[in-house]
Structure 1
Amino acid sequence: MKPLRWDPSVMIRGNKTSEFWKEHCKDESRKLLFILGKGFDVRMNIAIKELVDSSPAVDVECWMIEFDEGSGSTSTKYQSYADENLTELQILLAGKALVSKKILLWSSKGKGKRKRIGDRQAAQILSSYDQISSFTDIIIDISALPRGVYFSLVGKFLTFIDMYATSKTPNLFVVVAENAEVDIRIKEKGIDQDVGYLHGFGGTIELTSESEEPVIWFPILGEDKVEHLDKAYGHIRPNEICPVLPFPSKNPRRSDTLIKDYHQLLFDKLNIEPQNIMYVPEQNPFEAYIRLTKAISNYNESLAALDGCKAVISTFSSKLLSIGTLMTAYDLIDEIGVGVLNVDSQGYEIESFESLKKIKEDSELFVIWLTGEPYDES
């Protein structure tokens, strides 16, 4: 097994993020690019507000990704809340550059059918390294971005930095305002009929459907995803399944509750062996990355007589754990065929926007440092 890219690693969380940005941005030569998504999520502006409040004079350009979910999405009825968030953002960035980047989540396939293209469109936002070569720091805030969009976006930035950053590697951060209660109250409605591997994270699996190598599936479990799991299983048809549960977590009984909720699917229908269950810390994407990477590598080594294995990861849990998944797939892309299979929802519903505002302040900021100064050999 090759050395892990992100071990050791750097993550800043909670009340330490404000002092980190204040200290980090003391250097007046820094030029920041901040990327976020326009959406109705109450957490949309938490990270940018903390950055601007802690470093008012910082030289920052903001790219705002606007994604069109189509007229049929249940999320369209929350447009006024997205506009409210936009107004707040414009006030926060007064005098600083705000650039809109519009993408489509769907394309028409004819006769009322449509195909999800948001992941490809997100990757196309960055078409040349010249677009970002002048920035010393790049911050991607995934708090209000769909999973398919931020996976492809972060993957593209990582790829371009690895390929084209020659003189000095820019700092690449992923930030997220984590709040499990908000996630629970934003209900996903309907799932895609067509599922597939995210753009840039297909490994070699999608190219070799008749592969003789065993396929090991690592679903990261979250609440209310029975239909999503069933759909993903039908697409993958894995030889072995290793469910991944969040533990330790803020709710110490969360993993027990998930086991109870999925018991029939996991043990009665899918015949999962209890010893195959994995646990990863709910709020540490780097530790999730380390454990997943080691587990996949161990499977590949133990199955060497069969030319190794292929691995599929599906994340149905928090955005923090999703980033751990992203790092795992990215780090193993050249060594083992690792794909990320996504089962998207067709829209979202919330019972009360005002109730979300009340618990917004309970959100905790995480800054995940992926490239740049801490990792430079010098």
Structure 2
Amino acid sequence: MIDFDEGPDSSSSKYKKHVDENYKELKTLLSSKTLIEKKIALWSLKKRGKRQRIGDRQAAGLLSDFSQIANFTDIIVDISSLPRGVYFSLVGKFLSFIDRYAEDNAPNFFITVSENAEIDIRIKEKGIDEDIGYLYGFGGGMELASDREEPVVWCPILGEDKLEHLEKAHVQIRPHEICPVLPFPSKDPRRSDQLIQTYYQLLFERLNIEPQNLMYVPERNPFEAYIRLTKAICNYHNSLEILGGCKAVISTFSSKLLSIGTLLCAYDLLGKVGVGVLNVDSQGYEIDDYEEMKKLMERSELFVIWLTGEPYTEN
């Protein structure tokens, strides 16, 4: 179990009693098993009291040697309560170890996530990181390029209440082309229309995005999202090959399911096309009504994504 510390100033600390309730229930369910806890810090202090986010690097460091997983036939990572930076780097490290050391006899590697858009909307992010950057292991060479020569294509996956995140990411990336990604089809058929309405001024009046640049990916199918993102980025790279190709940046401001599609795209294109994952994180979270949110949990759906291994066996 990963125990991540957001720091004493995090607005999430007010929900500690609810965390303790869940922890107690988990230990009850695992009463006959050994629960190993690994602690990581999401922040470290820099000079002059400034903070630097280190959770992604510490998460990747939890898996330091392939021998830690060599004897397992099945590995399951539940990302339901993990910050994006933590599970991106952790899952990326698992995939790289499996591809490098167990390609011929890969374990079954699963990602599980409890998905509920209604709950996501009720969790409000408080304060945006001042120092944003590319996730550890998913820099795509972008973090090293100060004066980039290649054109940069940015694919932000849109979600609710992310206007400030989008603006901050745009300033950081300075893209030449923007392809906003909308969740459609989705459980709420009007969700993509509402997102366009919310961000209309930013996308079409300030950033001058062409309507044909809009992309649509199924809200509940990370593999289809992975395929469409990969195809779009490769098409851009091939079209601009005469100029030396292009760099691509993906930012995910939507659900964890679509984030998995983003992760797979960035990982698959590693070493082929420079793809960076720029994460704009928050300094804490607040919940509108915790009791109401608990009632909504009954509507949550569990998704299991099978990434490596042998899905079918012969009798």
TM superposition score normalised by structure 2 = 0.98
Q: Secondary structure of 2:238's match?
A: helix
Per-residue deviation, residues 118-139 of structure 1 (Å, max 9, x unmatched): 0000000000111111111000
Q: Secondary structure of 1:298's match?
A: helix
Distance 2:85 2:55 in 1: 7
Q: Which residue of 2 aligns with 1:183?
A: 120
| 1:345-356 to 2 correspondences below 5 Å | 345-356=282-293
Which runs of no fewer than 5 residues in structure 2 stay unpaired? none
Structure 1 position 168, deviation (Å): 1.9
2:43 is aligned with 1:106: yes
Q: Which residue of 1 aligns with 2:223?
A: 286
Q: Which residue of 1 aligns with 2:179?
A: 242
Structure 1 position 209, deviation (Å): 2.3
Q: Secondary structure of 1:140's match?
A: strand
The residue identity in structure 1 corresponding to 2:292 is S
Q: 2:242 aligns with which of 287, 305, 321?
A: 305
Distance 1:91 1:345 in 2: 32
Structure 1 position 167, deviation (Å): 5.6
2:174 is aligned with 1:271: no
Distance 1:172 1:205 in 2: 29
The residue identity in structure 1 corresponding to 2:310 is E
Q: Secondary structure of 2:263's match?
A: helix
2:27 is aligned with 1:85: no
Per-residue deviation, residues 166-202 of structure 1 (Å, max 9, x unmatched): 6621111001000000100011111001110000000
The residue identity in structure 1 corresponding to 2:2 is I
Structure 1 position 367, deviation (Å): 0.5
Q: Which residue of 2 aligns with 1:34?
A: none
Q: Which residue of 2 aligns with 1:314?
A: 251
Q: Which residue of 2 aligns with 1:218?
A: 155
Distance 1:205 1:167 in 2: 32
| 1:350-365 to 2 correspondences below 5 Å | 350-365=287-302
The residue identity in structure 1 corresponding to 2:182 is L
Structure 1 position 326, deviation (Å): 0.1
Structure 1 position 374, deviation (Å): 3.1
Q: Which residue of 2 aligns with 1:168?
A: 105
Per-residue deviation, residues 22-54 of structure 1 (Å, max 9, x unmatched): xxxxxxxxxxxxxxxxxxxxxxxxxxxxxxxxx
Between Structure 1 and Structure 2, how many residues are aligned? 313
Q: Secondary structure of 1:97's match?
A: coil
2:287 is aligned with 1:344: no
Q: Give runs of ≥4 in structure 1 deviating > 6 Å.
A: none
Structure 1 position 165, deviation (Å): 1.5
Cα RMSD after superposing both structures: 1.1
2:5 is aligned with 1:71: no
Q: 1:231 aligns with which of 162, 168, 171?
A: 168
The residue identity in structure 1 corresponding to 2:69 is I
Q: Secondary structure of 2:188's match?
A: coil
Q: Which residue of 1 aligns with 2:267?
A: 330
Q: Identity of paired residues, percent?
A: 72
Structure 1 position 207, deviation (Å): 1.4
Distance 1:292 1:110 in 2: 39
Per-residue deviation, residues 325-350 of structure 1 (Å, max 9, x unmatched): 00000000111000000000000001
Which runs of no fewer than 5 residues in structure 1 stay unpaired? 1-63
